[in-house]
Structure 1
Amino acid sequence: MLHIAFYIRTAGPEWVTWAFQVERENGFVKRGITSKKKPWANIDRRLLDFALIDQVKYLYDVTEELNIKPPRPENEPTNTERQIPGYPSCFVRTPCQKTFEPSKKTLGQVAYYLRDIVGGQPKNILKLLPTTVPRWGGVRILDKGDSIRAAWVPSNQDEDRREATFVRFEMEMEREGEFAPTICYGTLLEILQFDLPEERVLGSFAGRPLMIAVITPASISGDDASEEIITYRRELQQVVVEMTGVVALAGRFKTQGHWVILDRTNGAVRPEFVAAEPE
């Protein structure tokens, strides 16, 4: 009976509301328990104390002054985050494999990516790429952006956990003989840090880190899911883009054999769920 909310008639089945909000509230309450014999007295005292603090905040307009835990500045890294030089718009996140060996396919794609920017021969660039690199487990985009997880990080198999690996990204694609930025969607597989040597052939990338996102793109043709309903059935071969090309976290759900993309980068989610007509 403890797990049946009193508002179940209004809110619907308990799995709709219990999984996140109530569990967080339980975590807040149980931190006040210090007695094994009288835990309920501890809970009562904790709730009463915080209610009194709230009343003082509202009566005397001292909300900021009485904040028990000041909010962390948005653009400061946590203990599990690191900012890579040359990438001021994001923090990479742990876990981190410091000596990961990228596949030959990935190394070749990175060489061609650099060729398209700085010129030169891909085979000469390939010789300069490190064969072991740090592989990061996630990234947080700054200025109230998203926290994204790489697909290689093991999941905890929690049904309520968001996937957090499907992203909106941009890459240069050839259209009508010209390269132009194109909106794409796909699964973020890996975040690789290539610490490049001081070599003139590398141009502006010489002597600095190159952050690469390895992504398997969805089979769509550059359409924007924030403006219209976009669906796809499969993912294509992996591509590599610089980390600055990863724009935001996107969502997706599967229905009738295809995936529907949810993109709220413009503040709205386009797909609409319509109630079935009564039989």
Structure 2
Amino acid sequence: MVKHWSGKFKGLDTGSEDYEIADEVWEQIWKETAEAVRHIPAQFVRVLQSTPSYFTAEAWCFWFVYLAPILLKGRFRDVKYYDHACQLGDIIKSCIALQFTYTEINQLQDNCIDWVQTYEKYYYQYKEERLSACPLTFHGLLHVPDDIRFCGPSSSTWTFLIERFCGVLQAGLRSRRHPWANLNNRVIRLAYLEQLGARYDLEEELSTHKHPEMILRAPYTRVNIPDALMRKRLAAYFAAVLKARCKDIQPLLPEVMPRWGKLRIVDGDYIRSMLACGLDPEEDKEREMSFVRYELQVQEDMGAWTNKVFYGRLEEILVCKLSTNKIWSNLAGKTRLLAVITPCATEGKDAARTVTFYTRMTQSIVTDLRTVVAVIGRAETRGEWGIIDRSGGLLHPTFNSP
């Protein structure tokens, strides 16, 4: 598709259509692609070069699904080509989902048929001399829904089990002098653990994935005294939760609140707050992992409560130990983990479902740490920031010990 849009596909011109993008615009797109990597967590994708000739299949998949809708917006002379490109990204998202209903598979099949027919209209144009515009890969797209219908999700069929197990073994390879003995011992001990679990019903006790919901990590500040502005924000949060008055809450807040800089969500993402980024985040050489997706219950005009998606930058994590004063109601004597977040002005849009941009950030807020559900990436283009949210139940590459 990129070769079509850059006028380099098998010597074909645009024919009766007008989908080419100028070379200087492509230079800007690839530059923005390379610059976006710094703002995308490393667990999303490896480094993307500023030229597509070095892209792997993984890189192309990520670019089409997450970056193309952001970087190609407004680049075509006719928006229909952009919509067609975004439709391909949606199809890829559907193909790598972890679970399906038959209704969703039928919808995927309809989308694939519609996309291929539209492709033929725009690029093949039903002309014999443009027959080379129809490679076999696009025809193969029509068979993917049937493969999923009869064989299951791609995560269960399009995988290389031996290669995955080799990845597990490689992760535990520590001996440089006796690597083969190291591998042998690891395989034997994994088998021992498996047999112990099977014989004595110890699968749950021997599980390596039994953790609390959130795991806090250094940097850690034991003696942290929030300033007046932060105490005001904390009081506003508890006042909303307890339906009390801020002036009654604020004097009862603890004087010292320890704070943490990093967080790992169990079976989820690693998140690094701005506290862990140092004094000057612009000089930080690590990939940015401080922007998050969080979900709050919001009361609509009719009084009903609905779940709403927000995005923002995680500033720090506070540990708030409440007293036994009766004003705290059912929270009395408990410890609350609180996230300090600077929200992005995204107007409640869900970037996992629609292309979402923002140009400004609002005042910091305090909320429960459990509302943070995922880390996100960002890509800047022409003065706007696009949100990269992969929390839509899609397949991600990973290695877990058996």
TM range (shorter): 0.5 to 0.7
Larger Rg: 1 or 2? 2
Q: CA deviation at 1:146?
A: 1.1
Q: Which residue of 2 aligns with 1:171?
A: 296
SS of the residue aligned with 1:145? coil
Distance in 2 separating the partners of 1:204 and 1:263:
35
Deviations 1:86-118 (A, max 9, x none): xx5212212210111222222112212212222
Q: Identity, % of aligned pairs?
A: 29
Larger relative helix fraction: 2
Q: Is the 8 A contact 1:226 1:268 kept in 2?
A: no
Distance in 1 separating the partners of 2:255 and 2:302:
34
**Structure 1 segments (4+ residues) deviating >6 Å:** 26-29
Distance in 2 separating the partners of 1:176 and 1:124:
28
Q: Does 1:186 align with 2:279?
A: no
Q: Does 1:264 align with 2:306?
A: no
Trace 1:13-162 onto structure 2 (pairs within 5 A).
Answer: 32=175, 42=177, 46=179, 53=184, 64-65=190-191, 73-76=208-211, 88-142=212-266, 144-154=267-277, 159=285, 161-162=286-287
The TM-score, its normalising length taken from structure 1, stands at 0.67
Unaligned runs of 5+ in 2: 1-51, 60-169, 194-205, 396-402
- Please provide the CA RMSD for this pair: 3.4
SS of the residue aligned with 1:99? coil
Q: Does 1:215 align with 2:341?
A: yes
SS of the residue aligned with 2:324? coil
Trace 1:197-236 onto structure 2 (pairs within 5 A).
Answer: 197-236=323-362
Deviations 1:23-78 (A, max 9, x none): xxx9998x645xxxxxxxx5xx64x6568x49x96xxxx693289xxx982234xx
Q: Does 1:12 align with 2:54?
A: yes
Q: CA deviation at 1:261?
A: 0.6
Aligned residues: 217
Distance in 2 separating the partners of 1:32 and 1:12:
33
Q: Is the 8 A contact 1:169 1:248 kept in 2?
A: yes
Cα 1:27/1:242, change in 2 over 3 Å: closer
SS of the residue aligned with 1:219? coil
Distance in 2 separating the partners of 1:108 and 1:191:
16
Which amino acid in structure 1 is aligned with residue 347 of structure 2?
S
SS of the residue aligned with 1:100? coil
Q: Is the 8 A contact 2:344 2:361 kept in 1?
A: yes
SS of the residue aligned with 2:247? helix
The TM-score, its normalising length taken from structure 2, stands at 0.48
Distance in 2 separating the partners of 1:190 and 1:208:
20
SS of the residue aligned with 2:191? coil
The match for 2:379 among 232, 253, 264 is 253
Unaligned runs of 5+ in 1: 1-9, 18-25, 34-41, 77-87, 270-279
The match for 1:243 among 363, 369, 376 is 369
Higher relative contact order (CA 8 A, sep 6+): 2
Distance in 1 separating the partners of 2:288 and 2:320:
26
